[in-house]
Amino acid sequence: MRTTETSEAGLIARILAGDKELFHELVRPYERMVYLTLFSIVRNETEAEDGAQETMISAYRHLTSFRGDAKFSTWLVTIAINEGRKRLRKAKGVAEESIEEQTEGHEGDFTPAPLTDWREIPLEALERKEFREALRVAVAELPGIYRQVFTLRDLEELNVEETAQALGITTGAVKVRLHRARMMLQRRLVPFLKTTAPARKGFFGRAL
């Protein structure tokens, strides 16, 4: 990890000194992270891709304001989140934006669903396309505050502190939201986990 940070700092210094082409190299490892972050907020491929491009351009233009005290990846993800929120506001209008809840309530069932006829299902059996699709749909349908924490932690594998910093929430809130997100997904996906035979109920034919 240290080597990544050191070479990154070196790259940034060289870019700022005028070797601008190196910016491509600097952001290449984070293309996926930036896109997924945008997608977790705007939930639309085109919007997410446009937002990802804007994020990278904004990072390039503001590179002088990057201070080495945060990791470059966290800084970049913060820009992506702001870009996503801006797009969401524009798309939804102000009225609806205030409805997008910013704190976790207590409504909803955050307990896992028991699997009564559980036998250890080999992971390979779950690697079927259908399960992946169901997982994508289930994540997309999580309420925003849970989807965003889940995306940063479990898709992009940021740690709790980085996630908290990027989203501007406490580490306690990250933990609570992550737990609930995981339990909601487990509940949703139980029909798939119960059996290795293709389960056709519930997930298909449902619009995103």
Partner 1 sequence: MKLDCKHVWEHISEYIDNTVDAKLREDIERHLEHCEICSAILDSTRNILVLTADDRTFELPVGYSERLHKRLAKELESSKKDSHSK
Interacting residues toward partner 1 by CB under 8 A: 18, 20-21, 23-24, 27, 31-32, 35-36, 45, 49, 52-53, 56-57, 60-61, 111-116, 118, 120-121, 123, 126-127, 131-132, 135-136, 139, 150, 154-155, 157, 175, 178-179, 182-183, 185-186, 189-190, 193
Kindly tell me which of 88 and 147 has the beta carbon lying closer to partner 1.
Answer: 147
E strand or H helix at 174: helix 171-193
CB distance 194 to 117 below 8 Å? yes
CB atoms within 10 A of CB 87: 19
Of 6 and 131, CB closest to partner 1: 131
Residues in the chain: 208
By the 8 A CB rule, do 39 and 45 touch?
yes
Nearer to partner 1 (CB atom), residue 59 or residue 166: 59
Least distance (Å) between residue 106 CB and partner 1: 14
Give whichever of 74 and 186 is closer to partner 1, judged by the CB atom.
186
Cα distances (Å, whole numbers) of residue 8 to 1, 16, 208 = 11, 12, 38
C-beta separation of 194 from 125 below 8 A: no
Query: What residues contact residue 14 under an 8 Å CB cut-off, 6+ apart?
Result: 22
Task: State the minimum distance, in angstroms, from the CB of residue 27 to partner 1.
Answer: 8
Q: Which is nearer to partner 1, 9 or 115 (by Cβ)? A: 115
Minimum distance, C-beta of residue 193 to partner 1, in the bound complex (Å) = 5
Please, what is the minimum distance in Å from the beta carbon of residue 137 to partner 1?
11
Nearest distance, CB of residue 43 and partner 1, angstroms:
12
Cα dihedral 34, 89, 144, 108, rounded to 10, equals 180
